Amino acid sequence: MRLGVPRNGGFRPRVGAVTETAATVWEGGSVTVRVWVNGHLRGDEASLSALDHGVTVGDGAFETLKIVDGRPFATTRHARRLDRSLTGLGLPAADHDVIASGVSAVLGAGPPIPFGRLRYTVTAGVGPLGSDRGATDSSGLTYLVTAAEQARPPESGKVVVVPWTRNERAATAGLKTTSYADNVVALAYAKARGASEAIFGNTRGELCEGTGSNVFVVIDGVIVTPPADSGALEGITRGLALEWCREDGLAVDERALPLDVLETAEEVFITSSTRDVLAVHAVDDRELAPGPVTSRAAKVFAARASEDLDP
């Protein structure tokens, strides 16, 4: 395993750095986040160059994985998607040995995390102040890995449709880049309306996705989700849910749907790494009863996920 520290603009790790740092979260509580940057567990001291292109222009990609009983779920699929995002950004491939050493450092930096979130980010590294990138070779990439415990997901959630669109023709459509400000604004809008997720349509007026989740509807008993060309991220949970539900005999389909399908669908659910299959009990002012198809999909997902940590 390569443990070398990539070139990163001259930061100097402090020997014996604190291994955990408390970060305040917007919900008003606080959570302990384990932080690893470019080869070193970090405390709360500065650990990233101010010139990092991930900071200045959001030039990077990331993955969020569920941690269950101290171990990350679906690591292979997440690693492949990171590579797809980096390729889509025109960045060199990540060194997955470096990521793996960061992952084991944060997971081993304290007691096993019973349920939580592992996030790793790879940015273009130190770059110009503008959008131009200059020459970026793989030794210049910045690697960040963080892990934190979090509450298990609720039984169901409310979603709100936001007035902004996903651009399915954007250069970064379908890539999990660190440019997430659109999602930040949309989620704040949804939370201000008592929801836990915001849903985007795309520029064609079709249903697209949430800020951090994929969306599914049930129509005539069939589970339907927008295809990749809607501009939605191809979620790892989405892919597994489609596969496992199909194998369990449920009818599933990927096709374009009008955004207003949310006003008539029999059932609605969302999927994401830390929420698995989550029933939606309200879309804006429309309340929905928990449905049998969603409940079966959630059960199928839970059963299959418990059989294999890296499906």
Ligand X SMILES: Cc1ncc(COP(=O)(O)O)c(C=O)c1O
Nearest one of 189, 215, 208 to 280, comparing CA atoms: 215
Nearest one of 176, 214, 166, 169 to 85, comparing CA atoms: 176
> In this chain, which stretch among 13-21, 22-30, 189-197, 266-274 interacts with ligand X, using CB under 6 A?
266-274
Amino acid (1-letter code) at residue 301: F
CB of 153 to ligand X, least distance (A): 12
- Relative to beta strand 222-225, strand 252-254 is parallel
Give the residue, chosen from 123, 237, 288, 293, that forms a contact with ligand X under the rule CB under 6 A: 237
Q: Are 143 and 120 in contact (CB under 8 A)?
A: yes
Q: Which residues pair with 69 in a beta bridge?
A: none
Give the residue, chosen from 272, 278, 293, 297, that forms a contact with ligand X under the rule CB under 6 A: 272
Q: Which residues pair with 270 in a beta bridge?
A: 215, 278
Nearer to ligand X, 202 or 214 (CB): 214
Helices (H), the chain: 53-57, 75-89, 96-107, 181-192, 236-247, 292-307
181: left (phi over 0), alpha (psi -120 to 50) or beta: alpha
Q: Are 9 and 51 in contact (CB under 8 A)?
A: yes
CB of 310 to ligand X, least distance (A): 14
- Check residue 212 for interaction with ligand X (CB under 6 A): yes
> In this chain, which stretch among 16-24, 109-117, 208-216, 291-299 interacts with ligand X, using CB under 6 A?
208-216
CB of 240 to ligand X, least distance (A): 8
Nearer to ligand X, 136 or 274 (CB): 274
- Check residue 117 for interaction with ligand X (CB under 6 A): no
Give the residue, chosen from 190, 233, 265, 279, that forms a contact with ligand X under the rule CB under 6 A: 233
- Check residue 156 for interaction with ligand X (CB under 6 A): no
CB of 237 to ligand X, least distance (A): 3
Nearer to ligand X, 43 or 239 (CB): 239
Give the residue, chosen from 236, 265, 277, 283, that forms a contact with ligand X under the rule CB under 6 A: 236
CA distance 175 to 162: 20
* DSSP assignments along 167-196, one per residue: -TTSTTTT--BS--HHHHHHHHHHHHTT-S
Give the residue, chosen from 67, 271, 278, 298, that forms a contact with ligand X under the rule CB under 6 A: 271
Nearer to ligand X, 14 or 169 (CB): 169
> In this chain, which stretch among 30-38, 189-197, 267-275, 299-307 interacts with ligand X, using CB under 6 A?
267-275
- Check residue 273 for interaction with ligand X (CB under 6 A): yes
- Check residue 59 for interaction with ligand X (CB under 6 A): no
CA distance 213 to 112: 26
DSSP tally for the chain: helices H, then strands E: 6, 16
- Check residue 209 for interaction with ligand X (CB under 6 A): yes
Chain position whose Cβ is nearest to ligand X: 235
- Check residue 20 for interaction with ligand X (CB under 6 A): no
Question: Can you tell me which residue has the tokens 């171990």?
Answer: 71
| Phi and psi at residue 120, to the nearest 5° | -125, 145
CA angle 257-260-261, nearest 5°? 55
Nearer to ligand X, 141 or 241 (CB): 241
- Check residue 235 for interaction with ligand X (CB under 6 A): yes
Residues that bind ligand X (CB under 6 A): 64, 209, 212-214, 233, 235-238, 271-273
